[in-house]
Amino acid sequence: MNFISGGVCAAKGFSANGIHCGIRKNRTKRDLSLIMSDVPATAAAVYTTNLVKGAPLVVTKKHLENNTAQAIICNSGNANTCNANGIEIAEKMCDALSKKIGINPNDIVVASTGVIGQPLDIAPIANGIPSLVDGLSKDGGEFAAEGIMTTDTIKKEVAVEFQIGGKICRMGGIAKGSGMIHPNMATMLVFITTDVNISGEMLQKALSTDITNTFNMLSIDGDTSTNDMVVVLANGLAENEKIVADNDDFKLFMTALNTLTVQLCRMIAGDGEGATKLLECKVSGADSLDTAKTVAKSVVCSSLLKAAMFGADANWGRVLCAIGYSGAKVDVNKVGVCFKSAKGTIEVCRNGAGVDFSEETAKEILLEKEIEILVTLDSGEYSSAAWGCDLTYDYVKINGDYRT
């Protein structure tokens, strides 16, 4: 498994583009993205569990009933959610694209991200589609990644190359993260493309399985978005023998997908709104996978621990506290905690109580950009990881007046 460049255009037969069409006032910010497969692709998706669902999700879900799609269009700057005419606008986006590229609107995935509850004007999108389509290229993955950004400070794209049955396969993805990130059986906006030949059923199985250990173990701020969606398009151009069952090829595919999604999780968490640090909580020794996951997620969700990490303060009592209220059944007298970074590892808690440690060394470790919180439960063989970020002044600043 090798990381390669190219993002969503890394796989055979995919092109992309992103432009500024005018939804945003800032003319230097791309706000409309397109990802296109040369041929119809097998598609799978997962969606937010928030009862308030963005209109584009409703339309996309309908379009993907046949597990087929050829294009993904997504705007930023407006979520097209909680608007009376939301469905109509999402459908108009598909219709306008359909007319320009000559594919069925039913084969288009539509997504929107940005502020909730402000009507989305179709005019700039409709006017922008011709140049959006004309500019499609194999080098456009980066532009597409930029076009879906909201408060993200870095664009998030990743791609991998691997082999299935002797055929070179590629898979790439882009993500939009930053705020309102606390996926629950679904996730933020992630678009993944691959040239692997795989059935719709197995593609959906791969995605639905993968997210339980990746995007669903990620939290920026505890707010589950209304517009979360992960979509995978697999166009089959790698010409491997079609994956139709849970065999070795499927396992290879799952590994590739997981490599990609873990990387995207880390990128999203590290670039959480206002974040200065990526936090990863690794839980081991749990009596069940559920316990491991519940504990890991509770720790990365704690506002108090997140603020302590911002201050590089080894306040491990807050880790214990978050484990204690997680809802998982844990023997707190067996819990151990270490903090780890590129500067080393320090043990701060053993058997549920503090151990003597050097505050100076702890500070040095916690001043790094990527922090691991290692929790041992000493009660079994299960482990899990969750990703998050620190809580900072800038999170408050960004969200104190997001709309203006």
**Contact residues for its own copies, defined by CB under 8 A:** 48-53, 79, 81-84, 115-119, 179-180, 182, 184, 221-226, 301-304, 307-308, 310-311, 313, 315-318, 320-325, 329-330, 332, 349, 351-354, 391-393, 395-404
Q: For residue 345, list its beta bridge partners.
A: 340
How would you class 289 by CB atoms within 10 Å of its CB: exposed for 0-12, middle for 13-18, buried for 19 or more?
middle
Cβ 163 vs Cβ 170: under 8 Å: no
Cβ 24 vs Cβ 189: under 8 Å: no
Residue 387 Cβ, how far from its own copies at the closest point, in Å?
17
Residues 6+ positions from 315 with CB-CB distance below 8 Å: 304, 305, 308
Q: Which of 376, 383, 12, 330 is nearest to 217 (CA)?
A: 383
CA dist 101 and 226 (Å) reads: 29
For 149, phi then psi, to 5°, come to -70, 145
Q: For residue 69, list its beta bridge partners.
A: 41
For residue 133 the two structure tokens come to: 């389509």
Q: Please indicate whether residue 193 is annotated as part of the active site.
A: no
- Return the SS3 of 1: coil
Q: For residue 17, list its beta bridge partners.
A: 34
Amino acid letter, residue 340: K
Which of residues 289 and 307 has its CB atom nearest to its own copies in the complex?
A: 307
Which of residues 83 and 384 has its CB atom nearest to its own copies in the complex?
A: 83
Composition of the chain by helix, strand, coil, percent to 5: 35, 30, 35
Candidates 48, 113, 187, 214; catalytic one: 187
Packing angle, helices 317-324 and 303-310, rounded to 10: 160
Residue 310 Cβ, how far from its own copies at the closest point, in Å?
5
Which of residues 1 and 52 has its CB atom nearest to its own copies in the complex?
A: 52
Q: Which of 17, 2, 387, 46 is nearest to 172 (CA)?
A: 2
Residue 353 Cβ, how far from its own copies at the closest point, in Å?
5
Cβ 263 vs Cβ 158: under 8 Å: yes
Q: For residue 49, list its beta bridge partners.
A: none
Residue 86 Cβ, how far from its own copies at the closest point, in Å?
8
Residue 251 Cβ, how far from its own copies at the closest point, in Å?
33
Which of residues 115 and 254 has its CB atom nearest to its own copies in the complex?
A: 115
Residue 237 Cβ, how far from its own copies at the closest point, in Å?
38
How would you class 339 by CB atoms within 10 Å of its CB: exposed for 0-12, middle for 13-18, buried for 19 or more?
buried
Residue 373 Cβ, how far from its own copies at the closest point, in Å?
15
Helices (H) and strands (E) in the chain, counts: 11, 15
> Active-site positions?
187
